[in-house]
Amino acid sequence: MSIVDNPYESLTGARSGCSAALAGPNVGHVFRSPLRGPWLTSVFGVVLLACLPIVIITGLLDYVAYGQGQGIPGDVGFLRLPFFDWPAGPSWLFRLTQGLHVGLGLVLVPVVLAKLWSVIPKLFAWPPVRSLAHALERVSLLLLVGSILFEIVTGLLNIQYDYVFGFSFYTAHYLGAWVFIASFAAHVALKLPTMIRSLRSRSLRKELATPLARTEPEPPDETGLVAENPAPPTMSRRSALGVVGGGVLLVGVLTAGQAIGGPLRSAALLLPRGRAPEGDFPINRTAAAARISTADTGAAWRLALGGVSLSRAELLALPQHTARLPIACVEGWSTVQTWTGVRLRDLAALAGIAEPDSAFVASIEQGPFARARLNRGQVRHPDALLALRVNGADLSLDHGFPARVIVPALPGVHCTKWVRSIDFRSV
Amino acid sequence: MRRLYGAGLGHLLVTLACLALAAYAGSFLLGEPAVLTMLIWFAGAVVAHDLVLYPLYTLADRALSRLPVPVRNHIRIPALGAGLTLLMFLPGIIRQGEDTHLAATSLDQQPYLGRWLWLMLAMFVASGLIYAIRLSAVKLGRPTKSRSSRT
What distance in Å separates the CA atoms of residue A345 and residue A424, rounded to the nearest whole number? Answer: 9
- Starting at the earlier edge strand, list the strands of the sheet with A303-305: A308-310, A303-305, A419-426, A356-363, A371-374
Question: Which residues, other chains included, contact A412 with Cβ-Cβ below 8 Å and sequence gap of 6+?
Answer: A284, A327, A328, A329, A330, A334
- For the segment A375-415, what is each residue's pLDDT rounded down to a tens digit? 999 999 999 999 999 999 999 999 999 999 999 999 999 99
Position B126, amino acid? A
Assessment of whether the complete model's pTM goes beyond 0.90: yes
B78: alpha, beta or left? (left if phi > 0; alpha if psi -120 to 50) = alpha
pLDDT at res. B20: 98
Ranges of residues in chain B with a pLDDT under 50 are: 144-151
Size of interface A-B (CB pairs under 8 A): 240
* Range A236-260 burial, b when 16+ CB lie within 10 A, else e: bbbbbbebbebbbebbbebbbbbbb
What does each C-alpha distance from A372 to A72, A150, A205, A375 come to in angstroms? 13, 29, 53, 10
Phi, psi of A360, rounded to the nearest 5 degrees: -105, 120
Query: Closest approach of chain A CAs to the CA of B146, in angstroms?
Result: 8
What number is the ipTM of this complex? 0.93
What distance in Å separates the CA atoms of residue B11 and residue A425, rounded to the nearest whole number? Answer: 52
DSSP class of residue B66? T
- For the segment A134-173, what is each residue's pLDDT rounded down to a tens digit? 999 999 999 999 999 999 999 999 999 999 999 999 999 9
pLDDT at res. A10: 34
pLDDT at res. B141: 76
Task: Give residue A5's pLDDT band: very low, low, confident or very high (50, 70, 90).
Answer: very low
Q: Do B37 and A167 touch (CB under 8 A)?
A: yes
Chain B's closest residue to A168, CA to CA, is B34
- For the segment A84-143, what is each residue's pLDDT rounded down to a tens digit? 999 998 999 999 999 999 999 999 999 999 999 999 999 998 889 999 999 999 999 999
User: What is chain A's percent helix, strand, coil content, to nearest 5?
Assistant: 45, 15, 40
pLDDT at res. A294: 87
pLDDT at res. B150: 47
pLDDT at res. A364: 96
pLDDT at res. A16: 36
* Contacts with B77 from chain A: Cβ below 8 Å: 243, 246
Give the residue from A4, A249, A284 with the most B CB atoms within 10 Å of its CB, the best one to mutate: A4
What is the radius of gyration, based on Cα positions, of chain B?
A: 24
Chain B's closest residue to A250, CA to CA, is B81
